[in-house]
Chain A
Amino acid sequence: MSYTAQDYKKGQPRWCPGCGDHFFLASLHKAMAEIGVDPWNNAVISGIGCSSRLPHYMATYGMNTIHGRAAAIATGAKVANPNLTVWQVSGDGDGLAIGGNHFIHANRRNINLNMILLNNRIYGLTKGQYSPTSPRGFVSKSSPYGTVEDPFRPAELCFGARGHFFARAVATDTPATVEILKAAYQHKGASVCEILQNCVIFNNGTHDSVYTKEGRAKNAIYVEHGKPLIFGENREYGLVQEGFGLKVVEIGKDGITEKDILVHDAHCEDNTLQLKLALMGNGDGFPIALGVIRDVEAPTYDDSVTAQIEEVKAAKKYHNFAELLETNDIWEVK
């Protein structure tokens, strides 16, 4: 059966006009239609926060749960019912502050969840406090003199938790967002998609450098497995490895040709260079990496649970409660 985005849509979103959540929601509808899993076989599970309202706008099964616990709840749903396609949706506060523990453990266990992290670097629903992804010195209502703490960089956290999939897109960039969502679905295991999105009210402009098409042409690099890491308005720059790090070079200058440019390997087990790509920032003279940065196959938790149950079923002679009782030391009173 083929679907359209309309088949996954429900209700009227209540986010502020211009909020990145609107853009992302449209991309998710579109991606789900292209993926084609029946609406009733999808479960969209969120925590609390602006972005966690998202399940209410889905014509699928879903839960808008409690703050921080979406990944844990999604874990139970997926393990108990592996036939479901489970999408876990959190903001940066929900996913990385109060829910940080569940985020890292879902990655470590490699549960087959599509984990969406809508990162606007602010608490919007509580009206403007800094989040765990706000940069050091960030001024907000709860940090009037600037924060004195360093932020999490989601990719670093994902990789540190042995995550096997990490992709990034800008909320306004629909085609690229749809692509990474589809890749996340295709990937078996925990797939983290970081969505860079704007909060027009409390953190306007936070992803300014890449929020428009023009900006991305200048300040972002679309990475693609097997393709050289080339970027720039005229594709004039590339990335090469230098020492322990990456370096931006200009193609055609100093004898550099396309052949010298590093070729992206999302499937490489060793995540060293993938992490370097993921951590590139405009402030350091690098483009921001968009697309699927890491996508490595590994055994998933839910598959392993099912396989182990089958294995033990085959090995053990008791398969129901009555037979279980018989495995004990039993005596008879006559």
Chain B
Amino acid sequence: MSDELEIKELEEVVVRFSGDSGDGMQLAGNIFSTVSATVGNSISTFPDYPADIRAPQGSLTGVSGFQVHIGAGQVYTPGDKCDVLVAMNAAALKTQYRYAKPGAAIIIDTDSFGPKDLEKAAFKTADYLGEMGIDPDRVIACPISQMVKDCLADSGMDVKAMMKCRNMFALGLVCWLFDRDLEVAFNYLKEKFAKKAGVAEANIKVIKAGYDYGHNTHSSVANVYRIETKHKVPGRYMDITGNKATAYGFIAAAEKAELKLYLGSYPITPATDVLHELSKHKSLGVTTVQCEDEIAGCASALGASFAGALGVTSTSGPGICLKSEAMNLAVIMELPLVVLDVQRGGPATGLPTKSEQTDLLQCLFGRNGESPMPVIAATSPTDCFDAAYQASKMALEHMTPVILMTDAYIANGSSAFKLPNLADYPAINPPYVPEELKGQWAPYLRDEKTKVRYWAVPGREGFEHILGGLEKDNQTGAISTNPENHDLMTRLRKEKVDKIPVPDLEVLGDKDDADLLIVGFGGTFGHLHAAMDEMRAAGKKVAMAHFKFINPLPKNTAYVLMKYKKVVVAEQNMGQLASWLRMKVDGFVPYQFNQVKGQPFVVEELVNAFEDILKK
């Protein structure tokens, strides 16, 4: 161990905090990412928590992880593997070590590696490092539990309460390792425990102890790392998860449209945080109803839209199955509605806490009859804000249900969010029926150009009308089974959706001379971008085009897809986007990269697969 402390500059670093579900790893990870973001580092985080409500303490199934990627330049993903692994117990080391890079520093609490802990983690011998082939020189083995107890000996806390602060010791140690300013962490804790000053104080004390421990021992690593920030975009920032950003997007859109925001929802992983978030903001007039089931969530949101609100329903794939009939009612009644699908692993209950992109075709087609519905897929945690805003605007201005797709990965992941200024966002103008049409108005009279029907909100005299699930006459709005009329209405509903303007597809990277175009949609943007960057850094000519607007597709879709010699569609399903694009673009025959593991893509695997395609 060197006495001279060397400060090394790093481009980026990935830290993974892991421990028992109750060990507070998410909090430690969140604080570390906030502390890093404050100095202008780019951040991307991903929590990886078990599906079990509370698995037995110390068990392999109960391990919870939180990965933070910080970079001097832009980082697009939480990172494939980590440079520093914090393992608060034996089970964490056992299950999480595979996420560590070769040569990664490993911080362990030796007090949680007793015979019982080792047994629960299925270690066969007391030499757990040897058993896993870990070089002891890379391990910062620290009796964290004991030191936390010593540190809080005078606090009057009981041992159980003290042990809840272990995560902060690990955090302090990591902060020392990366030369982070603790002040931000202290403020975070003071705010979080504003009503429990004692708890805040204890946590702060333990962070300091962890930091000092690192400083005094230099631990077993000789370096402190510093990640400077390269490209600072000045402004005010906050850390935001995708689900929170989605909720904020709905709030912003309702405010812009001057409408009440109504959320009808039923708890479902991983979408529930949207219900939680919106339920907090009654001071903005947000109305949330936790309904009796998924169907009622959607049906009541549609009722709210009918009555003049921005109706939103939030769910995950299984909920979409249940809501589809009410979604279709919104299609035929031509009322605004936003349906949020935070995708998870399927089919059926599938992998509730894991991420996939397997609902795309369900969202596009999973309803009876000809049922065109716009589909938007958010591309990152912060993009969830814009996507929710755009979905709301589209629904309100085009009188249609819109599906907003996110996924567990971007919903739970977070990154730094530059505070938006609502004044910079486009106006939202629902097509309220003009007063002068009184007397001549019928519900399916349309704007000639957009094919959008007018909206008459109950309470307006002279515009009383009946909507419903039965086909209506395009002129009178009366029930009609006339064959020509049904054919016409079917076409009108499609035309209306097809006419919705969406931005052109943007090509990134070597757009003029790429040998390979990488195509994806939604939450895989970061991983695909990182893969492209890596390949270009290695001298390959690569471009990418990422779909956010899936129905209708951008106008230049065919042009972009047919321009490059080789195109690979990479998605976390068995080829759903590829199928959709092949259906819409004549002669498009892409390579495919499909993975359905419930886990985010691994950049290295993408690069390998894409390089193989280049060689073909």
- Asked if A329 contacts B307 (CB within 8 A), the reply is no
B 410-440 contacts with A by CB, 8 A? 419-422
C-alpha spacing A269/B555, complex, angstroms: 64
Collect the chain A residues with CB atoms within 8 Å of residue B458's CB: 40-41, 43, 61, 77, 81, 84
Collect the chain A residues with CB atoms within 8 Å of residue B38's CB: 331
CB nearest neighbor in B for A325:
B419
Whether, in the assembled complex, B238 has its beta carbon less than 8 Å from a beta carbon of chain A, the answer is yes
Given contacts A40-B459, A61-B458, contact A77 B306 (CB under 8 A): yes
Given contacts A40-B459, A80-B287, contact A72 B262 (CB under 8 A): no
Q: Number of A residues whose C-beta is below 8 Å from B? A: 58
Whether, in the assembled complex, A148 has its beta carbon less than 8 Å from a beta carbon of chain B, the answer is no
Stretch from B4-12, B136-144, B399-407, B465-473 that touches the partner: B465-473
Whether, in the assembled complex, B562 has its beta carbon less than 8 Å from a beta carbon of chain A, the answer is no
- Asked if A72 contacts B291 (CB within 8 A), the reply is yes
CB nearest neighbor in B for A108:
B292
Collect the chain A residues with CB atoms within 8 Å of residue B232's CB: 333-334
C-alpha spacing A325/B465, complex, angstroms: 40
Collect the chain B residues with CB atoms within 8 Å of residue A318's CB: 283-284
Collect the chain B residues with CB atoms within 8 Å of residue A74's CB: 303
Whether, in the assembled complex, B301 has its beta carbon less than 8 Å from a beta carbon of chain A, the answer is yes
Given contacts A73-B302, A320-B284, contact A334 B234 (CB under 8 A): yes
Collect the chain A residues with CB atoms within 8 Å of residue B284's CB: 318-321, 324
- Asked if B235 contacts A332 (CB within 8 A), the reply is yes
Collect the chain B residues with CB atoms within 8 Å of residue A58's CB: 466
CB nearest neighbor in B for A332:
B236
- Taking the nearest CB of chain A, how far is it from the CB of B124, in angstroms? 45
CB nearest neighbor in A for B421:
A322
CB nearest neighbor in B for A45:
B303
- Asked if A40 contacts B463 (CB within 8 A), the reply is yes
- Produce 1/0 per residue, A54-78, CB < 8 A to B: 0110111111111001001111111
- Taking the nearest CB of chain A, how far is it from the CB of B420, in angstroms? 8
- Asked if B462 contacts A40 (CB within 8 A), the reply is yes
- Asked if A333 contacts B233 (CB within 8 A), the reply is yes
- Taking the nearest CB of chain B, how far is it from the CB of A229, in angstroms? 35
Collect the chain B residues with CB atoms within 8 Å of residue A324's CB: 248, 251, 281, 284
- Produce 1/0 per residue, A194-215, CB < 8 A to B: 0000000000000000000000
C-alpha spacing A320/B281, complex, angstroms: 10
Collect the chain B residues with CB atoms within 8 Å of residue A317's CB: 283
- Asked if B237 contacts A332 (CB within 8 A), the reply is yes
- Taking the nearest CB of chain A, how far is it from the CB of B293, in angstroms? 6
Whether, in the assembled complex, B569 has its beta carbon less than 8 Å from a beta carbon of chain A, the answer is no
B 155-199 contacts with A by CB, 8 A? 184, 187-188, 191
CB nearest neighbor in A for B239:
A329
- Asked if A76 contacts B289 (CB within 8 A), the reply is yes
Number of A-B contacts (CB under 8 A): 206
Collect the chain A residues with CB atoms within 8 Å of residue B299's CB: 65-66, 69, 72-73, 76, 102
Whether, in the assembled complex, A256 has its beta carbon less than 8 Å from a beta carbon of chain B, the answer is no
C-alpha spacing A76/B460, complex, angstroms: 19
CB nearest neighbor in B for A53:
B479
B 469-503 contacts with A by CB, 8 A? 469-470, 478-479
C-alpha spacing A95/B235, complex, angstroms: 55
CB nearest neighbor in A for B34:
A329
Collect the chain B residues with CB atoms within 8 Å of residue A334's CB: 232, 234
C-alpha spacing A303/B184, complex, angstroms: 43
Whether, in the assembled complex, B255 has its beta carbon less than 8 Å from a beta carbon of chain A, the answer is yes
- Asked if B236 contacts A331 (CB within 8 A), the reply is yes
Collect the chain A residues with CB atoms within 8 Å of residue B295's CB: 69, 72
CB nearest neighbor in A for B192:
A329
C-alpha spacing A38/B464, complex, angstroms: 11
CB nearest neighbor in A for B335:
A63
C-alpha spacing A332/B328, complex, angstroms: 45
Given contacts A329-B34, A331-B184, A333-B237, contact A56 B307 (CB under 8 A): no
C-alpha spacing A328/B414, complex, angstroms: 14
C-alpha spacing A132/B322, complex, angstroms: 22
Identify the interface centre among B284, B328, B461: most chain A CB within 10 Å of its CB: B284
Whether, in the assembled complex, A48 has its beta carbon less than 8 Å from a beta carbon of chain B, the answer is yes
Given contacts A76-B311, A84-B459, contact A309 B296 (CB under 8 A): no
Q: List 28 A-B contacts (CB under 8 A).
A: A40-B461, A43-B307, A61-B458, A61-B466, A63-B468, A73-B302, A75-B300, A76-B262, A76-B299, A76-B300, A76-B306, A79-B262, A80-B305, A80-B308, A81-B307, A81-B459, A309-B282, A309-B283, A319-B284, A321-B248, A321-B422, A324-B251, A324-B284, A329-B34, A329-B239, A332-B235, A333-B232, A333-B235
Residues of chain B whose beta carbon lies under 8 Å from any beta carbon of chain A: 34, 37-38, 40, 184, 187-188, 191, 229, 232-240, 248, 251-252, 255, 260, 262, 264, 281-285, 287, 289, 291-293, 295-296, 299-309, 311, 325-326, 328-329, 333, 419-422, 458-470, 478-479
Q: Which 4 A-B pairs have the closest CB atoms?
A: A76-B303, A76-B300, A64-B468, A80-B304
Q: Name 6 extra pairs, CB < 8 A, besides A75-B303, A76-B311.
A: A43-B306, A58-B466, A80-B309, A105-B291, A313-B282, A313-B283
